[in-house]
Each structure stands twice: as C-alpha cells, then as structure tokens.
C-alpha cells in the first residue's frame, strides 16, 4: 500500500503500530483516509470523519471504531489550532 496523503494526526495503537489520519478525501465526501499498522494484522486502511470530538473510522474490513480526538497527536500546527474543523 502506497500512501501519498499528507498525515495530519496520529496515535499509537494496541497492536504495536499506529493509526494515521490524513487530509486525503475518501470515496464519501465527508470522510478522509485513515491508515493503520498492527504487528499481527499488518497494514489496513479506512475512512474517517470527526463528530462530537470523536474520530469515527470505518475500516476496510467493515469494522467501525470510535476514538476520542483527544488521544491523537496533531502533526501540523494548523491542525492543532483548528482541531480538524476544516475537514
């Protein structure tokens, strides 16, 4: 999997890897691409959106997960200032 999207936020996951949120639009206009690496599962991708301070991700496998936006680390200054309001 090759990712040319600009990563904007990240968080370590329980699988020894991380979840990365990007600014690249997904197939659904209100969603953006997310990528994850897990030591047992490997790489996967999904689409996410932010609602009520939660990051909601629908993974390629069909699993839907919700994470508090507070656990993510912004990778760009403007993301920290806007808290994803522009997405």
69 phi and psi angles, rounded to 5 deg: -65, -20
pLDDT of residue 1: 42
Calculate mean pLDDT across residues 2-22: 82
**SS3 category, 87:** coil
Whether this prediction's pTM lies above 0.95 is answered by no
| pLDDT at residue 4 greater than cutoff 80 | no
Query: Token digits for 60?
Result: 């390629």
pLDDT, one tens digit per residue, over 22-80 is: 989 998 888 999 999 888 878 999 999 999 999 999 999 999 999 999 999 998 655 54
Q: What is the dihedral of CA 12, 46, 68, 7, to 10 degrees?
A: 60
pLDDT of residue 36: 92
Q: Answer yes or no: are the C-beta atoms of 59 and 46 closer than 8 Å.
A: yes
């Amino acid at each position: 999997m090759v990712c040319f999207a600009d990563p904007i936020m990240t968080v370590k996951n329980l699988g020894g890897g991380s979840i990365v949120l990007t600014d690249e639009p997904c197939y659904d206009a209100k969603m953006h691409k997310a990528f994850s690496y897990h030591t047992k599962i490997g790489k996967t991708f999904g689409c996410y959106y932010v609602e009520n301070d939660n990051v909601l991700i629908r993974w390629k496998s069909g699993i839907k997960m919700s994470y508090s936006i507070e656990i993510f680390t912004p990778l760009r200054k403007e993301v920290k200032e806007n808290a994803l309001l522009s997405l």
